[in-house]
A = this chain, B = another copy of it.
Amino acid sequence: MGSQEQKAQKETARRKRPSQNSGGKVRRRGQKVKVPKISEAVVRRLPVYLRYLNNLKAMNVRTVSSQQLGEALDLNPAQIRKDLACFGEFGRKGIGYEVNYLVEKIKSILKLDKQVNVLLVGAGHLGHAISNYNAYLKDSMRIVAIFDADPHKIGKKIVNMMIQPLEELANTVKEKNIRIAIIAVPADAAQAVADRLVAAGITGILNFAPTNLRVPENVRVHDADVTMELHSLAYYL
């Protein structure tokens, strides 16, 4: 691990040099600071790498090459190397990538090195199902609160969490420092919930409702719409 520490320093230095990366340059307090424009496609692949690397780690695999990763994940090895190179020099020429080290690096890129608290709105079947993902999310992320509009559900428990009324949402967000929310309510209730989340300071939303949410542009919405996925699958029949 000693040589990896050295490498870490090298990275820091490297980030200040300009690179082929198309990111713009921004002047801050008189300095030219590199803003490495990372594409959405890259960010979407990072969790894919992380998931597979975690498998390798569980199997006690020490190192892995971009070639091997590419074969396992159906991706071009050059693309994998380039993706990772956006964030630093994590590999060793002639050797490949040290699995444990790369896992930590990707976690830190995704800001998963500290626990990220998440809340869930909607305690129906879908909400129940999503609560169980805490096991998969491991220590990096955690669903820490559940809300529902139905008075009959308030106070009941799901996986150790008490279902709370929406009125408590803003307070809980502040108390538990929550920044990400999951919407698992019917389509016709989703926009109102989203407005409430935004007002409470949420900046990332995973939306399961089959509807287009309108949010301010500083808020990011990822859609996980079953109907849309099924519809696009049908095209390829």
Contact = CB atoms under 8 A, between A and B. Distances in A.
Contacts of A236: 43, 203-204, 220
Contacts of A133: 226-227
Interface residues of A, number: 55
Interface in A171-185: 179-180, 182, 184
Interface string A21-45: 0000000000000000000000110
Contacts of A109: 235
Nearest to A137: B227
A17 interface: no
A227 B136 contact: yes
A232 B46 contact: yes
Interface in A123-147: 124-126, 128-130, 132-133, 136-137, 140-141
28 contacts: A47-B227, A47-B231, A48-B228, A51-B228, A52-B212, A73-B212, A109-B235, A110-B231, A116-B237, A125-B128, A125-B129, A136-B227, A137-B227, A141-B230, A141-B231, A141-B234, A180-B233, A180-B237, A203-B236, A204-B233, A204-B236, A204-B237, A205-B233, A206-B226, A220-B236, A222-B232, A222-B233, A224-B224
Given A125-B125, A133-B227, A141-B231, 6 more contacts: A48-B212, A111-B235, A125-B126, A129-B129, A136-B226, A179-B237
Interface of A: 43-44, 46-48, 50-52, 72-73, 109-112, 116, 118, 124-126, 128-130, 132-133, 136-137, 140-141, 179-180, 182, 184, 187, 203-206, 210-212, 220, 222, 224, 226-237
